[in-house]
Amino acid sequence: MVQKLETLIESASQTAGPYVHIGLMPTYAGNAGYYDEEIGTTPFLDESKAKGEIVEIVGSVFDGTGWAMRDALIESWQCDAGGVFPGEKGADPAFTGHCRFAADAESGEFTLRTVKPGSYQGRGGVESAPHISLWVVARGVNIGLNTRIYFEDEDNANDPLLNRIEQRPRVNTLIAKKTGDGKYRFDIRLQGEGETVFLDI
């Protein structure tokens, strides 16, 4: 049960605007020199030692007109190949589980290179299918949007979140399509036909 908080007032939200990259990925935005390297742009501490299958997920964030947004920024969070989250006992020490990446300024495509996550036991011991959680911001998005990536070559039939989606055809908006060995395509549609399922969390 969610605890009602009466002492905190909700902060006003505003669009991420064209400036989100300057604050979160300054080198990518053309402002080199602020950091030795961009923060969080890889989920690996040492990719050569990471356990499990390395995968690349390519996609775009489309607005309501079908335009691939060039200013979208995404953060991902996931468990490792063994289904263990960073900080938990047995977690892969070469993997952080978090990554920050942006759409290419020319093509509008993003690429996430990561470990394919394992399934894990959630609340009440219910097993969740392998997935990656995403947080999406871009111009016109007042509050960051949360969604997930599942994989078409995994058993998603009993996933508790997917089974809560009443409009069954929309489940497909959360499924990454396999395009090759270790490669997937996952597009995010902010509105209109094929709108991605977003989570209220």
* 201 belongs to a structural domain: no
Can you tell me whether residue 137 is helix, strand or coil?
strand
Instruction: Say what the pLDDT of residue 198 is.
Output: 98
Instruction: Say what the pLDDT of residue 15 is.
Output: 62
Can you tell me whether residue 123 is helix, strand or coil?
helix
Structure-token pair, residue 9: 């007032």
Cβ atoms of 64 and 192 within 8 Å: the answer is: yes
Quick one: residue 40, left, alpha or beta (phi over 0 = left, psi -120 to 50 = alpha)?
left
* 42 belongs to a structural domain: yes
Instruction: Say what the pLDDT of residue 40 is.
Output: 84
Mean pLDDT for each 10-residue chunk of the chain (201 residues)? 65 64 72 77 96 98 95 96 96 97 94 98 90 93 93 96 96 98 98 95 83
* 59 belongs to a structural domain: yes
State the CATH number of the domain containing residue 122.
2.60.130.10
* 197 belongs to a structural domain: no
Instruction: Say what the pLDDT of residue 2 is.
Output: 60
Structure-token pair, residue 71: 């200013």
* 198 belongs to a structural domain: no
* 119 belongs to a structural domain: yes
Instruction: Say what the pLDDT of residue 5 is.
Output: 62
The range of the structural domain enclosing residue 122 comes to 17-189
* 11 belongs to a structural domain: no
Q: What is the domain count for the chain? A: 1
Output the CA angle 183-99-57, nearest 5 degrees.
15
DSSP string, 20-74: HHHHH-TTTTT-TTSSSS-TTS-SBS-GGG--S-EEEEEEEEE-TTSPBPTT-EE
* 10 belongs to a structural domain: no
- Residue 6 carries which DSSP code? S
